[in-house]
Structure 1
């Protein structure tokens, strides 16, 4: 099992048109057998999993990094093509989202709610699983597997949260919704939606925002997928709260259509060592 970590730098990403110096810090995770899951979960039962050596980004992918990809490739996200991104505003009933035809990664909550001009160090959102794969192919990285993400988020723990975290102090480690419901805007921690990466405390292995901020796409499948292509994401988001969508932990696995785009859904990248 890993007892410490070391940091790698991903240097020059070579593009067909020009090169772009993208610095991304990675946390090295040693090969080993890890205990994952929960005894009460059907999707993620408790089990031992053996993984090869891999590295995972210390933060979620930012708007700045995604903007570099778009500038290099002229990539157009699915939300831009289909105008079907799902966004949120305070006042909606629980688990209700709005389809906003103006929303995409530059305006992740729709043009009426402002853009990302001053949020380049926030996680990129309003991208689909397909968009995430396109970024990974360009950058020479990949999405972590469901198991890799869980190992990295647990940081050696075999419990619901990594060591040191409980519900009464989760706000020190995660950008989540503090309000009792979503009828009134909640800016208790200074943020209504996403927060800049590294705003909250890291886990013991140096990963930031594994809980809250945005859900993170992962590779893998579940029994309930029944052979269909379903995208999965982990870690919870700024929308999640103790009273609803309590998925900001190392056990929960969310599901979404691979073509869907939400304003609380992004990614963290990984690579083989």
Structure 2
């Protein structure tokens, strides 16, 4: 009996250490040094090729998880836009391309609607069904901020100038990203092991140690692509689990998506950043 107890204890300790190491990875920041970086792509109206100067900043290695967002809600009692507006958009095949379903029961705890289960076993997946407005509230509480459009691209590119940090061939993306490999969205696709989100940090990182910059979930960024842009329009980058070569194709270093600041989608999340000195 003593041997069995000791063995059980060793298993418990091993699991605890694994959980602690995983949690530390999920909260790790990567330092991006100050400098002049080239961003954008030639002849792109929304993200033209240009050079930008940035100060040193820190960016999270992983997307913000359900566990991290749950800590924020537990501490503040925050209620998200999806809970108040009952207008989150979810995806459930078979649906026509680019058609999403409004589910009044969906919010961050039930990102695909209550009938399809919650996040109990997905605490290390990226939080979704949150709006830009919700993300701002989280950042204020956590003492962080969103990366700017330019900072996100600099960190994603990791010193490269190709369409992807691994080159220009999109067929080489599989080790790095959770995306949609099906020809269309009329039936579920589990080619990479997941139909929707995957645990953050599950796929290989870019050369600077950032995970999931492509696929998994779109990541909110701060900033505008035009000074005349509507104030309610915000941007996100990196593509998501829904994006495929035939639809969306936003899982690259240069595309910039846009969405209403109160909209909540089951493929929309975020990662955070910090500046030197004041933290934000």
Tell me the residue number matched to 1:178. Answer: 181
**1:22·1:65 contact (CA, 8 Å) conserved in 2?**
no
In terms of Rg, which structure is larger?
Answer: 2
Tell me the residue number matched to 2:247. Answer: 244
**1:43·1:224 contact (CA, 8 Å) conserved in 2?**
no
Is 2:258 aligned against 1:255? yes
Shift in alpha-carbon separation, 1:105–1:169, aligned structure 2, 3 A: same
Tell me the residue number matched to 2:218. Answer: 215
TM-score (norm 1): 0.90
Shift in alpha-carbon separation, 1:165–1:58, aligned structure 2, 3 A: farther
**2:30·2:209 contact (CA, 8 Å) conserved in 1?**
yes
Shift in alpha-carbon separation, 1:22–1:188, aligned structure 2, 3 A: closer
Residues of 1 paired with 2:142 and 2:27: CA distance?
11
Where does structure 1 differ by over 2 angstroms across 4 or more consecutive aligned residues? 163-166, 223-229
1:185-208 deviation per Cα after TM superposition (whole angstroms, max 9, x unaligned): 001111010000111100000000
Deviation of the 1:223 alpha carbon: 2.2
Deviation of the 1:171 alpha carbon: 1.2
Unaligned runs of 5+ in 2: 1-23
Q: How does 1:164-175 map to 2 (within 5 A)?
A: 164=167, 166-175=169-178
Unaligned runs of 5+ in 1: 1-20
What count of residue pairs does the alignment treat as equivalent?
Answer: 253
Tell me the residue number matched to 2:233. Answer: 230
Residues of 1 paired with 2:134 and 2:221: CA distance?
13
Shift in alpha-carbon separation, 1:23–1:46, aligned structure 2, 3 A: closer
Residues of 2 paired with 1:119 and 1:23: CA distance?
14
Q: How does 1:138-217 map to 2 (within 5 A)?
A: 138-164=141-167, 166-217=169-220
Structure holding more strand per residue: 1
Tell me the residue number matched to 1:63. Answer: 66
Deviation of the 1:44 alpha carbon: 0.3
Shift in alpha-carbon separation, 1:45–1:207, aligned structure 2, 3 A: same
Is 2:108 aligned against 1:111? no
Residues of 2 paired with 1:226 and 1:75: CA distance?
29
TM-score (norm 2): 0.88
